[in-house]
Amino acid sequence: MTDRRGLWITLEGGDGAGKTTQANLLETWLSEAGRTVLRTREPGGSEVGQLIRDIVLHHRGDIAPRAEALLYAADRAHHVATVVRPALERGDVVIQDRYLDSSVAYQGAGRVLDADEIRNLSLWATEGALPDLTVLLDLDPQVARTRLDAADKPFDRLEAEKLEFHVRVRDAFLALADAESARFLVLDAAASPSEIADAVRTRVASLVTDR
């Protein structure tokens, strides 16, 4: 792992799927191998993005679905331009919690908006930027809700949605992975964290050798 061309990895999945755990494990592994790692997230990966995150996740009251989608796209445009692209140009490995696939799943399927329009909006906002690898941690929404309940913390606006919403989100993620199988690595989030981490490392190692 000595070459310095950047690598962009996103983690996707429903709330409670274990994205943070896997991001931590992957960051440690890559750092120990000598790579410079940038951890980031959407929404909220920049100063502007944090302001948007507070609105979309913690605003008390309704936000019109299209307005919500536009807020996420605005965060994404600024985040890619000011955080992600500069890191990749430096040769860093970017490990990112959520990207446009979350918008397609949550605002498209979850809010019942047109999935293609949501995806195209994000692609326009980011000038077509797509990750090298997207790890989808797939988990039954009922199991995910049990995990969130056990965490004993307040739910944000999306976590608090009804089960039917999260079922639509899961189905949308799986459909995205099926449509772009070369970009996605789909893993059972009910497996042990170490098993998942091993599978992620195997896939990432094959990408790193190309850089």
The CATH number given to 7-208 is 3.40.50.300
DSSP annotation of 160: T
Q: For the chain, which residues make up each domain, given as ranges?
A: 7-208
DSSP annotation of 107: I
Q: List Cβ neighbours of 21 (8 Å cut-off, separation of 6 or more).
A: 193
DSSP annotation of 168: H
Phi and psi dihedrals of 73, rounded to 5? -65, -35
Omega within 30 of 0 (cis) for the link into 43 = yes
List the pLDDT tens digit at each of the 211 positions of the chain. Answer: 334 479 999 999 998 899 999 999 999 999 999 999 999 999 999 999 999 999 998 887 889 999 999 999 999 999 999 999 999 999 999 999 999 999 999 999 999 999 999 999 999 999 999 999 999 999 999 999 899 888 877 787 888 888 999 999 999 999 999 999 999 999 999 999 999 999 999 999 999 866 6
pLDDT value of position 33:
94
At 4-22, the pLDDT tens digits run 479 999 999 998 899 999 9
| Cα–Cα nearest to 178, from 98, 120, 104 | 104
Instruction: Measure the CA–CA gap between 44 and 97, rounded to whole angstroms.
Output: 10
At 79-102, the pLDDT tens digits run 999 999 999 999 999 999 999 999
pLDDT value of position 101:
98
User: Structure pTM?
Assistant: 0.92
- 73 in Cβ contact with 103 (< 8 Å): yes
Supply the Cα-derived Rg of the chain in whole angstroms: 16
Q: In what order do the strands lie in the sheet with 93-97?
A: 37-41, 93-97, 7-13, 133-138, 184-188
**At what angle are helices 115-125 and 65-79 packed, to 10 degrees?**
30
Chain mean pLDDT for the chain: 93
Instruction: Measure the CA–CA gap between 33 and 174, rounded to whole angstroms.
Output: 31
Biggest distance spanned by C-alpha atoms of the chain: 49
Tokens of 36: 């410079």
